[in-house]
Amino acid sequence: MDGGAVGPESFAFDPRGEGPYTGVSGGRIVKWAASEGRWVDFAYTSPSRDVCEKPHDHQEMEHVCGRPLGLGFDPRTSRLYIADAYMGLLAVGPGGGLATAVVAQADGVSFRFTNSLDVDPRSGAVYFTDSSSQYQRRNYIPLILSGDRTGRLMKYDPESNHVTTILSNLSFPNGVALDENGDFLLVVETSTCRILKYWLKTPPHEAAGEVEIFARLPGFPDNIRRSPRGGYWVGIFSKRNAVFERVLSSSWMGKFLLGLPIDVMKVHGLYTSWRGKGMAVRLSEAGEVVEILEERVGNRWRSISEVEERDGGFWIGSVNVPFAGFYKARNR
């Protein structure tokens, strides 16, 4: 990607099928111009362009420049909604430019780590996550180690301009996906390596508002997207291993590590660059793993954030690498 940008975490295609669009470091949303074979600037989430366009440590300046993560278009209006980790839920029109704030708090509690979203194509409602009320994105490892459960799943209604908290007390809620019929939501809990199902409508023998475990995963999940072949693709940031299992199984161990005079974010960064390995899984409608995407040689995809299946291939996102990947699918 140009300009030293990194971290194309999530993808969105506009109602005309153009794109994808993706958010990167420095607070920019860029668009893939297929006819030109390059990425072009489309929008940005912070007005501080004089500072954010200069070379700098992107992570240290995220709170100033913004860090766009989840993206989704309202197909009725071509409005692009943006979950910016620091700026809250934003939106920008089809012409791009500076995104404007939609909501920055719910129930009197400000968003600290706005993360992922999905848009209901029928109503335009936006379902989105705030991963923590205590920790920001640049401190996501302390968020996990501390056992934080202040994450929330919310709904924004564009008709009433009102935001409602649907679920609270979540462990690092991340990706969110609305099922095709609008009956339920799937929300990823990164810390617990599981996906929850929240019923929006009344299924047989149950009441709307019920929550159940949809799937347990072999690693730390990020975003979730519907597959055109049925089911859902889930990006796995890194696999579970004995080290993480031991730390996460004991609350005192996580707090002990946070109390040490070390930068846990830098330690984790070194570990993932050396041993971390991401993957992606496609889940069936019943939450069972039916397909796996995994790099067999090398370690380019050490932190897969999202898989968007489209046009006979897979767009692969990551929070750490300076490129977006597209893999052509084999004949099925």
268 band by pLDDT with thresholds 50, 70 and 90 = very low
Of 182 and 251, more confident: 182
pLDDT of residue 49: 84
Residue 190: predicted pLDDT: 93
Cβ density class 281-317: b for 16+ within 10 Å, e for less:
bbbeeebeeeeebebeeeeebbbbbbbbbbeeebbbb
pLDDT bracket for residue 267 (50, 70, 90):
very low
Domain coordinates of the chain in residue numbers?
2-328
> Coil, strand, or helix at residue 86?
coil
Compute the distance between CA of residue 175 and CA of residue 222 in angstroms, rounded to an integer: 6
Express each pLDDT in 208-224 by its tens digit: 788 999 999 988 899 99
Average pLDDT over residues 46-67: 82
Give the pLDDT confidence of 169-183 residue by residue, as tens digits.
Answer: 999 999 999 999 999
Residue 230 has pLDDT above 50, yes or no: yes
Is pLDDT of 257 > 70? no
Classify domain 2-328 by CATH architecture.
6 Propeller (2.120)
Confidence of residue 53 (pLDDT cuts 50, 70, 90): confident
Beta-sheet pairing, 21-24 with 28-33: antiparallel
The pLDDT mean for the chain works out to: 86
- Where would I find the H helices in 169-319? 242-248, 251-258, 264-274
pLDDT > 70 in the chain, percent:
82
The residue that leads in pLDDT, 219 or 2, is: 219
pLDDT value, residue 250: 53
* Burial label, 104 (beta-carbon count in 10 A; 0-12, 13-18, 19+): middle
Query: Could you tell me the pTM of the whole model?
Result: 0.89
Cβ atoms within 10 Å, residue 203: 14
Q: What is the pLDDT of residue 61?
A: 86
HSE-up of 253 (CA within 13 Å, CB side)? Answer: 8
Span 100-153, pLDDT tens digits: 999 999 999 999 999 999 999 999 999 999 999 999 998 887 888 788 899 999
Instruction: Give the other-Cβ count within 10 Å of 219's Cβ.
Output: 23
Predicted confidence (pLDDT) at residue 262 exceeds the cutoff of 50: no
H helix and E strand count, the chain: 6, 26
Please tell me the distance from the alpha carbon of residue 90 to that of residue 111, in angstroms, as a whole number.
Answer: 12
DSSP letter, residue 331: P
**Which pLDDT does position 138 carry in this prediction?**
83
